[in-house]
Structure 1
Amino acid sequence: MYFKLAYDNIKKSYKDYTIYFLTLILAVCIFYSFNSIDSQKALFDMESPTANYMDKLIETISAISMFVSVVLGSLILYANNFLIKKRKKELGIYMTLGMGKRKISRILVTETFMVEGISLITGLILGIVTSQVLSTFILKLFDDSMDGYRFIVSISAIGKTILCFGIMFLLVIIFNIFVISKYKIIDLLAADKRNENMKFKNPFIYLTSFILSVASLTFTYKTFLGMNLYLWDSIIIPALVFLIVGTVLFFFSLSGIILYIVSNNRKAYFKGVNIFIVKQIYSKINTNFISMSVICLMLFITILALTTGIGLKKGYEAGFVKLAPFDASVILYTNDEINNVEDALNKINFKKYGNEKYAIYNEYVPIIDFRDLFGTEDKAFEMFGGSFVKISEYNEILKLKGEKEVNLNKDEVLILSNLNKLVGPINAKLKSSNKVKIKGEEFTVKNQEVIRGNLEDFNVTNNECTIVINDEFLSGYKVSKSVLNVMYTDENREENNKKYDKIQKNYRSGEYESLNLPIIDAYSKDDIYSMAKRSSTGALFIRLYLGAVLLITSMAILSLKQLSEVSDSMERYRALKRIGVNKNMINKTIFIQTLIYFSLPMILALIHSIVGITVVNKEINSYGQMNIRFSTLITALIFLVVYIAYFYITYTSYRDIVKNNI
């Protein structure tokens, strides 16, 4: 009996369950897809460093999945609460007919098992397909071969998904039983008779709130656009607080501002059913400004994560090309005993191979202050300084790279940098004057623009500014860093790379402690590229995971909030019908309300995102160019598909509920 009743209820109310089904299916699909990558053998048949990184990535995803479970669990409880409220009258009729609360709970439990079971199975099937696409995507990101790829169903991910969502569904059942036990018949039967009492506050309150919101958001935007994020500034926390406060005040004031402006334009206010639409919009925003603010901020985080994710990856990896101009480099930070990289290599019995070409250069102190160099107090230069390299050693580097050597007159220098924060200001100074002062002497900068690039392989941009000068000027100066740069002359890269990886590992493990060596480090181009690929891909993967979860959560809450308030407005729709408003006009009012309700959080989130993307873009461009056009297109496509799906289902469900009740 209970099964038949539950089945009939679901069949009868399938339209009410559409949002719930869609949200559950997408949640299960995303959860399974991102937790199933540990089953794809091809991902672990990669080269050892990448395979090891995949282990760490899976651990990170497992940890993030705990947070995702909480978010999705809260969303499912929220969606279930909407369904219970929607069915209050139906449950009241069951009680009137003599059905006890325990029997009603059994019906709801049966319905929950059926709905959650169908959603779980459908979501897992969709997730299995999606996970194959995701595995292929990861292999492509790592530039790895597809030979080891197999269509695999992850039993562990299925188990984890069933366990996670099983706990969620158990909580839903407990919640339903608790709620039913608290209901009284009169409350259930009169649920659709209760309407909220709309009170329009003083227009001055809304106007003041709107001005404060604009001021708060303007302060936030100007603060972030004017700061350097890589330096943690104490103003960041207040700016974030102002962002949240400004967003909440914006939605609080918006409904009143709209109502005040439109109501004072009588021609527009009394045209058609505009008076009804405006009052409905005011009601919805005024009662839901907190939830709309939260949704707006969630959408902002989602857009920022998805848009900058692929762009950051591409920009990060492109920047690494400039970080590794050689096949390998050994870097010695000198002390009083050892000031030459060759002496250090001899101490550790390092053997040079005949299939390698070498060039050594030294970096000399003192470090020069940029403000002294260019004769300026420009704040762009206050945190940075320049070091010196001999022209003879710089020419050895050019020769190793197969580039043309450079001749300098006695009063000429070259300026090199690989830090975008400095390249622009230095180029601007060189454009106005190519004269610089070094230790009281005036020199001419031979290059019209900064020469870009690192002078050795390194995993970050370490060439803030290097001044190449004649050898005589540096005679007597102390060496601060000595570097051996290497180019391989054959294809035996793996064997050569192992030598330099060993130097790094031995020093960090303490193998050289007895030799009293100063700090010595070594990098290979392949290792730097691989590290860039691993870290950027992992960061992108996590952004996609969290972005997808936050996106469906935001859209689902928007939909459920809209649908949960249909009953509050039902008497108004009946009044419209009584005064002769036809079906098409009523549908039009529903469409406009739904569109505005969905659009407002999205529009403000887009404005926040433009500022956020600009800030991130500026910071990343300090190290390597970031092109966000492709990622913006992909993000827009994802948003469009999910937005249209939830918007259409919300509109049609809202329309059908109104149609069936008036």
Structure 2
Amino acid sequence: MTIINIAKQNVKGNIKNYIIYLMSIIISVTIFFIFKSLEYNESVNLALEGSAKLSVGFNAASMVLLFFSGLFIWYSNDFFLKKRKKEIGLYAILGIENKKIGKILFLETFFIGIIALVVGIILGSVLSRISTLLLIKIINLNVELGQVITIKAIMKTVISFVAIFIIVSFISGSTIYKFELIDLFKAENKREIEPKASYFKSILSLVLIISGYLVYLGAMKSPSLQISIVLTLMLVVSGTFLFFSSFLIYLTKIKRKNEKKHYKGLNMIITSKLLYRIKGNAKSLALISVLSATTITAMGITISYHNKFIGDFDEVYPYSYVVSTKDKSLNEGILNTLSEENNIEVIGNTNGEITDLEVSINGGKNFVKMIPQSYFYSINKLRKNKYTMEKLNSGECAYFYEYGEGSKREYKFSTVDIKDSDIKLSIKEYYKENLLNEHMSIETMVVNDDDYNKIKSAGEIYNLNLYQIKSNNDLKVTDDKIENMVDKSLLKDKNSNKMLSYSSYYKNLKEQSASIGGMLFIGVFIGIVFLAATGSIIFFKQISEATEEVNRYKTLRKIGVDDKDIKISIYKEMLNVFLAPLFIGVFHSTIAISLISNAFNQNIILILIKVLTPYILIYLGYYMLTAKNYYNIVNN
């Protein structure tokens, strides 16, 4: 029998052991292929022209996925090699040279990789069309699907993963040179010494994690946000590894002191096993915890962004167009352009005067748009009288602040000092939102008409035009015409700022749908890969240990322990292994998500329910699968 035939037979014989490993790699290959197909999809890229280049996002996501997949494949393959040390030793005893054994291991790993690659590309080809349709729906694109699968995407996927499989296969093939023959046969008999519980390291783990949380929660106030986030990661990740290698041991040993529970049923054996093998599990559990936190946080933040900028878009951008320039003739030109289009119905339009000026509130310098109350009523009518505002007396004003909900800023009853003027205004009403479209005016003041006429000369006077269209869809041609008109008008004013002078509902919706919808799409697929890898790593680790525990369970049966008690003890032990990293991962992610959801006025409970429900269900599926397989191994 040739080396190639031996390798093929080994793959066939171990296919049950490889199935979870295979599934995880197939998922990685499939999603990588989908990302590459979308990156090279000409129809999607042309439709996104001028608003967002999602291809850059897909390329970055595929690189992250490739790097992670490489680590996962190497990590998982290492478990299989350790599990097969005895088999490798048998080859050596039969007289097969180390070089040939290395070739067998190389070919086995490579064959598994090629199987996963072929199945992944076939599955990716089937799912690419569905994924593209889903992306088009999420980012609200009006585009013909066109060709989805490209030769370039297939070649990139093949080259990338074949490179990974060759590297991992070489590592597998070189394993035989790392061990003495006696070590290979005694691998299952080696046991780790029960680790000591370090009180200092246990406390240090909590200090590091809590310190990381405090740095993160204060990140928004920090002048260097990036440094704060990096420091948070360092503190929390190092604290998490210490938590599992020290605090978990300390906690388990304290739990063991409760004699009533410790000597009940097989609890003594479960606790002893957890302690005995804690060192081997600590790094894996910490890694699972960090991966879980990363996955849940990424999904939670993405959903927060989506809810804020897409879910509440009509509130954030209430007007089809907002134009603020010194060109009085622009309003007539825009109305003419809108009337030329047969599919456009203008249901509302206001035109009035406003002033941009500098004011001082509570000693702080602010730049605001000031609007006379008579014009405010016209604006409010477009909003279907959303705001209830009593007539302002002289010396009173109403204040709109865009970031009010996400900020502790509160100006109600404060005094406003107008620059280069003796006039002071008191804030009678305070609204925690933007009166205009988002970013058009972070701060806006409504004042009595008489006060406005006295104050307006202290600032720059502009014409503010608002337009409300019945349907804001399919406006590309009209939108381009209006933007060109505004651009020409702004060229006449050297001090103009386009962000503060022009806002288009259609353009902003298109851009934000592409960027945030694309981020949601990428986040979901990356989350699937991370979740599959998370469950697989625990599965491999526990199943690897199960093969080494067979004799222990045989001994338990000989002394009278029945199968029912053994099964309960295994499911309890697996539950401890699975719940510990899940609990820490969820806790980390809850803190991480809370800051963003609070800034965007999102309900963190609802966000966590949306993310955690599918995550925990799939995670528990891995728990049941692992516990069942563990029991079958020790039972047979």
TM-score per shorter chain, which class? 0.7 to 0.9
Distance verdict in 2 for CA 1:160–1:525, change over 3 Å: same
Q: Which residue is 1:470 aligned to?
A: 449
Contact 1:303 1:635 in 2 (8 A): yes
Alignment CA distance shift 1:183-1:383 (3 Å): farther
1:294 Cα offset (Å): 2.7
1:409 aligns with 2:390: no
TM-score (norm 2): 0.85
Query: Following superposition of structure 1 onto structure 2, how do residues 387-398 of structure 1 map, counting pairs within 5 Å?
Result: 388-398=370-380
Shift of 1:529: 1.7
Q: Return the alpha-carbon distance in structure 2 between the equivalents of residues 367 and 13 of structure 1.
A: 75
Q: How does 1:501-520 map to 2 (within 5 A)?
A: 501-503=483-485, 512=491, 517-520=494-497
Q: In the TM superposition, what are the counterparts of 1:350-499 in structure 2 within 5 Å?
A: 353=336, 355=339, 357-369=349-361, 371=362, 388-398=370-380, 403=385, 407-421=391-405, 426=410, 430=412, 436=415, 438=417, 447=429, 450=431, 452-455=433-436, 457-458=437-438, 460=439, 462-472=441-451, 475=454, 477-480=457-460, 482-487=462-467, 493-499=475-481
Offset of residue 260 of structure 1: 2.2
Q: Which residue of the partner structure matches residue 584 of structure 1?
A: 564
Which deviates more, 579-588 or 217-226? 217-226
- What CA RMSD, in Å, does the superposition of the two structures yield over aligned residues? 3.5
Task: Give the match's secondary structure for 2:322.
Answer: strand
* Distance change >3 Å, CA 655–CA 154, structure 1 → 2: farther
Equivalent of 1:79 in 67, 76, 81: 76
**Aligned-pair CA distance for 1:170:** 0.8
Map residues 87-486 of structure 1 onto 2, 5 A cutoff. 87-144=84-141, 148-149=144-145, 152-201=148-197, 205-206=198-199, 208-225=200-217, 228=220, 232-233=224-225, 235-332=228-325, 340-342=326-328, 353=336, 355=339, 357-369=349-361, 371=362, 388-398=370-380, 403=385, 407-421=391-405, 426=410, 430=412, 436=415, 438=417, 447=429, 450=431, 452-455=433-436, 457-458=437-438, 460=439, 462-472=441-451, 475=454, 477-480=457-460, 482-486=462-466
Q: How far is 1:57 from its partner?
A: 1.1
- Flag the 1:34–1:408 CA change in 2: closer, same or farther, 3 A: same
* Residue 531 in structure 1 maps to residue 531 in structure 2: no
Q: Where does 1:646-661 land on structure 2 (aligned, <5 Å)?
A: 646-660=622-636
In 2, the alpha carbon distance for the partners of 1:294 and 1:9 equals: 30
Q: Which moved more, 1:221-230 or 1:257-266?
A: 221-230
1:454 maps to a residue whose letter is: L
CA deviations over 1:233-291 (Å, ceiling 9, x no partner): 56555444332233233222333233322321112222222111101112343333233
Identity among equivalent pairs (%): 25
Q: Is the 8 A contact 1:306 1:631 kept in 2?
A: no
- The equivalent residue for 1:335 is none
**Does structure 2 conserve the Cα–Cα contact (< 8 Å) formed by 1:195 and 1:568?**
no
1:23 aligned partner, one-letter code? S
* Mapped contact 1:16–1:653 kept (Cα < 8 A): no
Contact 2:39 2:58 in 1 (8 A): no
Matching of residues 625-644 of structure 1 within 5 Å: 626=602, 632-644=608-620
- Secondary structure of 2:442's partner? coil
**Residue ranges of structure 2 left out of the alignment (5+ in a row):** 340-345
Q: Any idea what SS the aligned residue of 1:538 has? A: helix
The question of whether the paired residues in 1 share the 8 Å contact of 2:110 and 2:166 is answered with no
Distance 1:495 1:171 in 2: 52
Provide the residue aligned with 1:618 in structure 2: 598
Contact 1:367 1:387 in 2 (8 A): no
Mapped to 1, the partners of 2:177 and 2:487 lie a distance apart of 65
CA offset at residue 312 of structure 1? 1.7
Give the paired residue count.
Answer: 614
- 8 Å Cα contact 1:394-1:468 kept in structure 2: no
Matched AA of 1:191: A
CA shift, 1:395, in A, is 4.0
For 1:605, the equivalent position in structure 2 comes to 585
How far the C-alpha of 1:495 sits from its partner, in A, is 4.9
